[in-house]
Amino acid sequence: MVLAGGALAPAAHAAPFAAPAAQAAANPYERGPNPTVSSIEAVRGPFAIAETNVSSLRVTGFGGGTIYYPTSTGEGTFGAVAIAPGYTADKSSMAWLAPRIASQGFVVFNIDTLTRSDQPASRGRQLLAALDYLVEESSVARRIDGGRLGVMGHSMGGGGTLEAAADRPQLQAAIPLTGWNLTKSWSGVRVPTLVVGAENDTIAPVASHSKPFYNSLPSSLDKAYLELDGAGHFAPNTSNTTIAKYGISWLKRFIDDDTRYEQFLCPAPQGDRNISEYRDTCPHS
C-alpha cells in the first residue's frame, strides 16, 4: 500500500540507482532535497513510501514486524533502521514513528519482539537479527545499503538499542528513547548515539537511566543527550515532533553522512521549549 506524502516515485524508464552527478561528487548518500525546519518537522517527508508485513513465522530471532520503505529507486539505495518496542508493548507503540522516518529516505523495520517480556539484552539481539533479515532476506533487500544501518527503541527497546550498539560497532547510529537497562556503563560503544530522556519519567528516571547512559559513553564519541521537557516515560509512544525532528537529523547525519542536517544538531538547539536539557560533543567528527 502506497502511503501519501512527498514526491512521487520516478517514472519507470528512469535509470535505477542513479544519483544526480552533482550530489554524488559531494556525498553519494544524500537523499532528498535540502532540509529545512519545516521539512524535518513534517509528519511526512519527501519520499512516497509503501509497507509490507513480515510474519513471525517467516523469520528467526525476532517476532516479525512491518517494513516501511521509499518507493523510489531513482536516488540509489537507502540506509536502514530497526525499531524495537518496550516492555509488554508491540510494534503498534512505535507505528507513528516508523513511516515518518521512512518518508525521509530510509528503510525502516518496526519489529515485534519474541515475547512482550523480553529483556534489553534479548531486544538488542532481536534488533540485530531484524537488520540481518532486512539486508539478507527481505523483499526490499536490494533497496538497502547494508553498510548504513541503525537501531532505535523505546524503554527496554531503548536499553536493547544500547546493547545492539555495543555488540555491533559497525552500526552507524543508535537512538535509545527513554531507555531502561540495569547496565549503566556503555563505555565500549563506538556507534554515534543520541540518548533521549524524559524529564518526568518515573519508570526509567533520567537520573538513573538516560543521563548515566550518556555520561558513560566515550567522550570522544559523537553523542548527544536530549531531555523532553515535562514529558513522561511513554512520550515516544505517541506522535512527537521533537523526537522525530532530532531523530531524523541524527539518522541522516550519521547513517547517510549527510552534513546538511548538521545545522539542526550543532550548535546545540537553543530556545526549544520542548527540550529541558541538551548536551552534545559538537563539532561532530
7 band by pLDDT with thresholds 50, 70 and 90: very low
- Is residue 201 part of the annotated active site? The answer reads yes
Residue 10 has pLDDT above 60, yes or no: no
Whether 246 is covered by a domain: the verdict is yes
Average of per-residue pLDDT across 271-279: 96
The answer to whether residue 150 sits within a structural domain is yes
Report the alpha-carbon distance of residue 256 to residue 70 in Å, rounded: 15
* E strand spans, the chain: 2-3, 49-54, 65-70, 78-84, 106-111, 144-154, 173-177, 193-198, 223-228, 275-280
- pLDDT at residue 18 greater than cutoff 70: no
Least confident of 22-26, 162-166, 180-184: 22-26
Domain annotation covers residue 5 = no
Residue 15 has a pLDDT of: 33
The pLDDT tens digits of the residues spanning 38-64 come to 999 999 999 999 999 999 999 999 999
Residues 259-271, mean pLDDT to the nearest whole number: 95
The answer to whether residue 95 sits within a structural domain is yes
Which one from 118, 132, 145, 201 is the annotated catalytic residue?
201
pLDDT digits (tens, 9 = 90+) for 209-226: 999 999 999 999 999 999
Percent of the chain with pLDDT over 70: 91
> What CATH number does the domain containing 116 carry?
3.40.50.1820
Domain that holds residue 145: 37-280
Out of 112, 154, 233, 256, the active site residue is 233
227 has a pLDDT exceeding 80? yes
10 Å CB burial of residue 262 (0-12, 13-18, 19+) is middle
24 is a domain residue: no
Query: Is pLDDT above 90 for 4?
Result: no
What integer is the mean pLDDT of 81-107? 98
- Whether 39 is catalytic is no
> How many Å apart are CA 71 and CA 50, to the nearest integer?
6
**Number of domains the chain contains:** 1
**Residue 140: inside a domain:** yes
256 is a catalytic site residue: no
pLDDT (0 to 100) of residue 19: 36
Active-site residue, from 122, 155, 210, 249: 155
DSSP 60-121: SSS--EEEEEES--TT--EEEEEEE--TT--GGGGTTHHHHHHTTTEEEEEEPPSSTT--HH
Q: What is the DSSP letter of 206?
A: T
Say what the pLDDT of residue 148 is: 98
| pLDDT higher than threshold 70 for residue 5 | no
| The C-alpha cell that represents 21 in the structure block | 552527478
Residue 161: inside a domain: yes
How far apart are alpha carbons 72 and 143 in whole angstroms?
9
The arrangement of strands across the sheet holding 193-198 comes to 2-3, 49-54, 65-70, 106-111, 78-84, 144-154, 173-177, 193-198, 223-228, 275-280
| Statement: residue 12 has pLDDT above 50 | no
Mean pLDDT computed over 65-73:
96
Model pLDDT for residues 166-197, shown as the tens digit of each residue: 999 999 999 999 999 999 999 999 999 999 99
Please check whether residue 4 lies inside any domain of the structure: no
- Please tell me the predicted confidence (pLDDT) of residue 27: 87
Q: Which residues contact 21 (CB under 8 A, 6 or more apart)?
A: none
